[in-house]
């Protein structure tokens, strides 16, 4: 039996390694595919450093020509302010974030950053100006130090530690057997949903971008962790132009503006109070969420 066990265990390790490599290759191809969608214009200019105003001007978009997803979306996020987008699943919320990052080009209208059409900007400078806290953070099979440093590979250890402190991750990391050198990811220590989000926040803080996109996780965290993450995000967003793709309404109450998106159109806009007074879709969604929470 022992003679059988060794090769079987070797096969198990091999299987995991192959599966991880396949996942990495898959991700690489997804990225390559998305990169090929857009090209730098011949006369593209870099985005100047500093605060950014984001302006969506009658933005229309379709992934496939026969199925339009956005039907003319208008909004402006002044530099340093926040805007949250809510709406039913499939309304087009995450699409707004993908367009801002320029994974795709708009099919009509324009996205302007400080009055320049984002198609006139170099992709490298645009993407350097945007930090993303995604729904599900990808962790590399490497140390937690490396995983945070990924936000800005030139950052030194002290800067990584400062970002981890700001994301309230430092004490947790210090409690691990190898501290910042502990391996995480598929073959290392598994992090909880909340810890992964904190890694994403620390990465974004290290990158220090003028624009922040927060794509809220659909899977709920426990309410204490959710409140803590919410507070850390609000701190990270301070002074940055922030787009929040919200799946739970508790995240949006403090946003400067809220857009309610329905089937690719803005149907209501205002702050939390204005929207409750309008007594429309937002009020309905709010009541439903309340009911769900009370159950
Ligand atoms: P959710 O709250 O469920 O995340 P959402 O409002 O963020 O939804 P989007 O992800 O923006 O919705 O998707 C809007 C529509 O676009 C959906 O009907 C979806 O099926 C479609 N869609 C999204 N990504 C693609 C894609 N890569 N190719 C084709 N259609 C897509």
* Each residue's pLDDT tens digit, 24-33: 555 555 555 5
Does the predicted model carry a pTM greater than 0.95? no
pLDDT above 80 for 110: yes
| Mutational test site, ligand 1, from 30, 63, 220, max ligand atoms within 8 Å of CB | 63
What percentage of the chain exceeds 70 in pLDDT? 86
pLDDT above 60 for 22: no
CB atoms within 10 A of CB 152: 20
pLDDT above 90 for 213: yes
268-282 residue pLDDT tens: 999 999 999 999 999
Helix (H, G, I), strand (E, B) or coil at 81: coil
Q: Which residue has the tokens 């006139």?
A: 120
List the residue whose alpha carbon is closest to atom 11 of ligand 1: 92
Residue 57, beta-bridge partner list: 110
φ and ψ at residue 145, rounded to 5 degrees: -60, -50
Confidence of residue 227 (pLDDT cuts 50, 70, 90): confident
Structure confidence at residue 23 (pLDDT): 52
Rounded alpha-carbon distances, angstroms, from residue 240 to 127, 136, 224, 275: 15, 22, 25, 24
Residues making up the chain, counted from first to last: 295
CA of 143 to the centre of ligand 1 (A): 33
Q: What kind and span of H or E run contains 126?
A: helix 123-128
């Amino acid at each position: 039996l022992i003679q059988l066990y060794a090769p079987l265990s070797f096969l198990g390790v091999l299987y995991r390694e192959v599966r991880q490599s396949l996942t990495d290759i898959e991700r690489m191809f997804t990225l390559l595919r998305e990169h090929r969608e857009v090209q730098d214009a011949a006369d593209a200019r870099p985005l100047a450093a500093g605060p950014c105003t984001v302006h969506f001007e009658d933005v229309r978009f379709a992934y496939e020509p026969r199925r339009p997803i956005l039907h003319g979306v208008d909004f402006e996020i002044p530099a340093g302010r926040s805007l949250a987008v809510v709406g039913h699943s499939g309304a087009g919320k995450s699409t707004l974030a993908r367009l801002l990052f320029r994974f795709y080009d708009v099919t009509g209208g324009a996205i302007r950053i400080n009055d320049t059409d984002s198609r006139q900007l170099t992709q490298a400078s645009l993407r350097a100006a945007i930090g993303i806290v995604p729904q599900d953070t990808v962790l590399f099979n490497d140390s937690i130090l490396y995983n945070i440093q990924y936000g800005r590979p030139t950052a030194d250890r002290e800067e990584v530690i400062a970002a981890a402190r700001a994301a309230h991750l430092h004490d947790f990391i210090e409690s691990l057997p190898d501290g910042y050198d502990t391996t995480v990811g598929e073959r290392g220590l598994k992090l909880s949903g909340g810890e992964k989000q904190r890694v994403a926040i620390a990465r974004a803080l290290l990158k220090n971008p003028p624009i922040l996109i927060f794509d809220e996780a659909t899977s709920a965290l426990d309410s204490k962790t959710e409140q803590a993450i919410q507070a850390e995000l609000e701190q990270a967003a301070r002074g940055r132009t922030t787009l929040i793709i919200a799946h739970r309404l508790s995240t949006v109450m403090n946003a400067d503006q809220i857009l309610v998106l329905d089937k690719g159109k803005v149907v209501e806009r205002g702050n939390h109070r204005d929207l409750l007074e309008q007594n429309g879709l937002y009020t309905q969604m709010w009541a439903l969420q309340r009911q769900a929470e009370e159950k």
